Amino acid sequence: MDKPLLILVLAAGLSRRMGRPKQLLPIGGETLLRYVVKKALTVPHASVAVVGSGESLMKQQCEDLPVVWIENRDAHDGMSTSIKAGISYAQDCSAGSVMILLGDQPGMDPGVLAGMAGAFGAGSSGMLQARYEGKPGHPVMFDRRFFPELLKLEGDTGAKPLLQRHADSLQFWDVNTPVPVDLDTPEEYEHYIRSSEE
């Protein structure tokens, strides 16, 4: 792999609270999924993979972008299945580290992604998490030595158990803005659209 950092955009969620596939919601003249993926693509010296469901309309959003599509057929079993699908691919392509990014956070600042990617590496403790005004959030980065443990995650808790278990290896990337909002409900989506137009 010529780019040692792999950015995993998790986009296989079932959108139960939204009532329709949130990955296809319009944001900034394109779909939410495409909008977030294009932010990930701004990070220098990184490859991008999208972990999605089998929904063909979602895959079509990325067909003309330089990304790999990883299909998660077990999305109904929680976020851990998307992480494991992405980490399995990361191992196959010999990625040195991964950055896990949520596909439903359009307010994510590309500068945060690039800053974290640049800071992670030589001398790193192995895990780096964004922290917004003191509150931990995404993205989260992991050195490849944590891949075996990431592959053992279960349920819908994401990587929290691993972060807690290895708190001594976790460093934070502090950001002086609020945590980017997850668009999980119609109300959150409408509020995001209104606030972005102001």
Q: Which amino acid is at 23?
A: Q
Q: Give yes or no for residue 108 having a pLDDT over 90.
A: yes
Side by side, the strands of the sheet bearing 68-71 are 68-71, 46-52, 5-11, 97-102, 135-143, 127-132, 170-175
Q: Give the architecture-level CATH label for domain 5-197.
A: Alpha-Beta Complex (3.90)
Q: Give yes or no for residue 123 having a pLDDT over 70.
A: no
pLDDT digits (tens, 9 = 90+) for 69-81: 999 988 888 889 9
Domain chopping of the chain, boundaries = 5-197
pLDDT digits (tens, 9 = 90+) for 94-105: 999 999 999 999
Q: Nearest-CA neighbor of 36 among 14, 5, 67?
A: 67
pLDDT digits (tens, 9 = 90+) for 124-172: 779 999 999 999 999 999 999 999 999 999 888 889 999 999 999 999 9
Q: Coil, helix or strand for 66?
A: coil
Q: Give yes or no for residue 198 having a pLDDT over 70.
A: no
pLDDT digits (tens, 9 = 90+) for 148-157: 999 999 888 8
pLDDT of residue 125: 79
Q: Give yes or no for residue 122 having a pLDDT over 70.
A: no
What value, to the nearest 5°, has the Cα angle with vertex 157 and ends 16 and 12? 45
Are 37 and 9 in contact by the 8 Å Cβ rule? The answer is yes
